[in-house]
Amino acid sequence: MTAVEEAFARARAEDRAALVGYLPAGFPTVDASVRALRTMAEAGCDVLEIGLPYSDPVMDGPTIQAAAQQALEAGTRTADVLRVVEEVAATGVATLVMTYWNPVERYGVERFAADLANAGGSGLITPDLTPDEAGPWLEASAAHDLDRVFLVAPSSTEERLRYTTGHCSGFVYAAAVMGVTGARTSTSALAGPLVERTRAVTDLPIGVGIGVSDGAQAAELAAYADGVIVGSAFVRRVLDARGDESRALADLRALTEDLAGGVRTAAPERAGA
């Protein structure tokens, strides 16, 4: 059982959803991102997604784009991302890298898989890579016992859901909002039906990302999803701190604790799961 599978299993044993938090490596600096991610782990994140900054983040909204740009301007490179993974994974929290595929290809797929595994990373979330085009990654991840997290969406057909989830490991990422990433003031009506359709074709845990920004929204998703994925809300706390790291860490801790409380809220649908 991988670290990601163990994290979801622990959450299920506690009759709750897992909290999955995202922050880019190198944002606002490499060392500061390590401290931020460790704070999120201490405050209640079960799984951490470490973003690999990329110059053409077409699927990301303005908040994450701004963070990635800061990281790139600070000189963050793939080797730095792997160092962040190593330092964060040392805390014992399940640690994934979320990345567009081009940087992995440029680094070398086999080399990236080996270095990620050596750093203690659990696998990759690849938003712009589909299983059809993932042959080298499927081979390398299997060779190094790394999880492969692919995305499904409300537009996915049943055939596509079955095919995609059949190539996932760790969990399935259900992107329940059409369009770019970003925190929202309400949850998506598409999330529940997507989880239901996905659950019909796989036994893997299903994590939902729809722009969750607070504990109340997390509790809504925790009623039916196995994992609640939060990204832009965490990034926004760091951006709003405007270089004041003490404030950023305090705000990240407060948000994580609020979200962690939300996923632990008893809900009828989860209580009977």
d(CA 62, CA 232): 9
Residue whose pair of structure tokens reads 């604790």 in the numeric block: 257
Residue 269: Cβ within 10 Å count = 11
**pLDDT for the residue numbered 51:** 97
Q: Which CATH class is domain 3-263?
A: alpha beta
Tokens for 253, please give them.
Answer: 């801790």
**Whole-angstrom distance, CA of residue 170 vs CA of residue 16:** 17
* pTM, to two decimals: 0.93
Q: Among all residues, which ones are annotated catalytic?
A: 49, 60
pLDDT score recorded for residue 190: 87
Residue 176 reports pLDDT greater than 90: no
Asked if 170 and 123 touch (Cβ cutoff 8 Å), the reply is: yes
pLDDT digits (tens, 9 = 90+) for 7-35: 999 999 999 999 999 999 999 999 999 99
pLDDT at 267: 53
Identify the DSSP state of 21.
E
What confidence tens digit (pLDDT) does each residue in 191-201 have?
Answer: 999 999 999 99
Whether the predicted pLDDT of 52 surpasses 60: yes
Residues 105-131: pLDDT tens digits?
999 999 999 999 999 999 999 999 999
Sorted by sequence, the CB contacts under 8 Å of residue 135 that are 6+ apart come out as none
Mean pLDDT, residues 58-73 taken together = 90
Lookup: tokens for 236: 């926004």
